[in-house]
Structure 1
Amino acid sequence: MLTAVFQVRECDDAGHTLHVLLARRDEEWSLPGGAIGDRDTLSTAAQRHLAEQARLTRVAHLEQLSVFSDPDRVPETRTIASTFLGLVPRDIPTDATSNDAAWVNVTALPPLAFDHAQIVHQARRRLAAKLSYTNIAFALAPGTFSMSELSEIYGSALGYTVDATNLLRILSRRGVVVATGTVGRTGRAGGRPPSLYAFADASLRVTDEFATLRPPL
């Protein structure tokens, strides 16, 4: 089994971008994963491999993605992979970067083992689609945030710029975000402190069956 875990992280040269967690095995980068133990469920196996291979123990959202069963996906060995999508909020510290694991910008992936690049692409499409009709961004956002910060998170995951004012209108109408009554710090350019918001729920729910955001990647 394999898990594609995403987090929006800050890059020195590109602002905030979507990153995926990779593990190095046999001199090759791959998604964290491995065999399922005799007493494992699929989700517990996924979480165990994330902890063992990348020291990641806190995942805000984990869901089954798909089953990859091409007979030739792993040469010389018939291997079926059950895959998962995982999300980590931006304010959760992660110390995976090492010789054996790293967070990598999804737009600059190194060569990956077998069909793992295809799995990452499918996981990105699932995330982008669900951002339109669910509240799944709760698992990428910090506990409180300004709308400009949340629009950066949506834009990083969707691959295009998202207008903060329009996003607030949509999410407020759906009851996805609520005002906290507090303000954040002003930016480097000064001005009024931004109002802070929070997600109304910390678990996945469908908010609108008809997507209003642009189509997924």
Structure 2
Amino acid sequence: MNDATSRAGAGALQAEVLVAVFGVRPVTCTADPDRRSGRGELRLETLLWQRALEPEAGRWSLPGGVLLGTEDVDSSASRQLAEKVDLRRVTHLEQIGVFSEPGRSSGSRTIATAFLAVVPTPAATPGAATDDADLPADTRWHPVEKLPPMAFDHQQIIERAATRLRGKLSYTNIAFALAPEEFTIAELRQIYAAALGHDVDPTNLQRILTRRGMLTATGRTAPPGPTGGRPAALYRFTVTKYRVTDPFAAFRPRD
């Protein structure tokens, strides 16, 4: 089946792929000398593009589009990210569900396969883009807790994807996908806290992740901060391939 044939049969039923991309990013994307010392504030954000044409012109959408007849949903997700928002590298990608409610979009009935994608924290990643100016003109990062007016059911998809990500932080090693290659415990605590939406005790976090065999000391230390003090040890994730580490664990806010 070629692309033309696939599109020709889309009048009654159409398939699309949508991707909710998450990253833990600095609240302000200007240079922050305190970021490396663990004092720069981070938050969970999602990557959106603004629709220029009807339907829903001016509203914000998840990266995505029509599933072509020559591709599966996984390859389509990667293509959509590259074409729509110029994102060509993610550290984790997984399918989170199918959205098939009649009337979820205007025009022909459209069934969406939704994905969760993760990119690493840019604050401590050498060469990573840290400013929206590096993105296409119609694309911006937005805080998950303060989304702009969204098209169709895309807010619902973001909420489901964010819930999935937060849940997986408690029983898998998915944090490797959010973190830079090397980090201090203070930096890792910030990433967990931003993604989870509540504070995380650094001592408890280190103890749990060490017990699960998730952390490896690099033997190196971070550059000292502006106030001096003892250099903090640098760690990395032992395994950078997604896996379940503890199916019964949960990080929760302290009472």
Calculate the TM-score normalised by the size of structure 1.
Answer: 0.94
CA contact (8 A) 2:49 2:138 kept: yes
Alignment identity in percent? Answer: 50
Task: Give 2:34's aligned residue.
Answer: none
Question: Following the alignment from structure 1 to structure 2, what is the Cα–Cα distance between the partners of residues 58 and 131?
Answer: 21
Deviation at 1:77, TM superposition (A): 2.7
Which moves more between the two structures, 174-183 or 75-84?
75-84
Task: Give 1:21's aligned residue.
Answer: 47
Alignment equivalent of 1:33, drawn from 64, 67, 78: 64
Question: Following the alignment from structure 2 to structure 1, what is the Cα–Cα distance between the partners of residues 250 and 77?
Answer: 32
SS at match of 1:9: strand
Calculate the TM-score normalised by the size of structure 2.
Answer: 0.80
Say whether residues 1:152 and 2:190 are aligned partners. yes
Question: Following the alignment from structure 2 to structure 1, what is the Cα–Cα distance between the partners of residues 114 and 229?
Answer: 46
Task: Give 2:7's aligned residue.
Answer: none
Which protein is bigger by CA-based radius of gyration?
Answer: 2
Task: Give 2:179's aligned residue.
Answer: 141
Partner amino acid, structure 1, of 2:19: T
Deviation at 1:17, TM superposition (A): 0.8
Partner amino acid, structure 2, of 1:16: L
Question: Following the alignment from structure 1 to structure 2, what is the Cα–Cα distance between the partners of residues 73 and 177?
Answer: 43
Alignment equivalent of 1:5, drawn from 13, 18, 21: 21
Question: Following the alignment from structure 2 to structure 1, what is the Cα–Cα distance between the partners of residues 222 and 179?
Answer: 15
Partner amino acid, structure 2, of 1:50: L
CA contact (8 A) 1:137 1:154 kept: yes
Aligned-residue Cα RMSD (Å) equals: 1.7
Query: How do 1:159-174 residues align onto structure 2 when only pairs under 5 Å count?
Result: 159-174=197-212
Partner amino acid, structure 1, of 2:60: W
Question: Following the alignment from structure 1 to structure 2, what is the Cα–Cα distance between the partners of residues 214 and 197?
Answer: 23
Task: Give 1:201's aligned residue.
Answer: 239
Deviation at 1:213, TM superposition (A): 1.0
Task: Give 1:186's aligned residue.
Answer: 224
SS at match of 1:156: helix
Task: Give 1:45's aligned residue.
Answer: 76
SS at match of 1:154: helix
Deviations 1:71-113 (A, max 9, x none): 1211343111100000001127246534211111112210110
Deviations 1:23-69 (A, max 9, x none): 12223210000011122111110111111111100001000011111
SS at match of 1:108: coil
The unaligned stretches of length 5 or more in structure 1 are: none
Alignment equivalent of 2:104, drawn from 67, 70, 73: 73
CA contact (8 A) 1:97 1:103 kept: no
Deviations 1:132-159 (A, max 9, x none): 0000000000000001100110011100
Partner amino acid, structure 2, of 1:15: E
Partner amino acid, structure 2, of 1:67: V
CA contact (8 A) 1:3 1:46 kept: yes
Which moves more between the two structures, 178-187 or 117-126?
178-187
Alignment equivalent of 1:88, drawn from 114, 119, 131: 119
The unaligned stretches of length 5 or more in structure 2 are: 1-16, 30-39
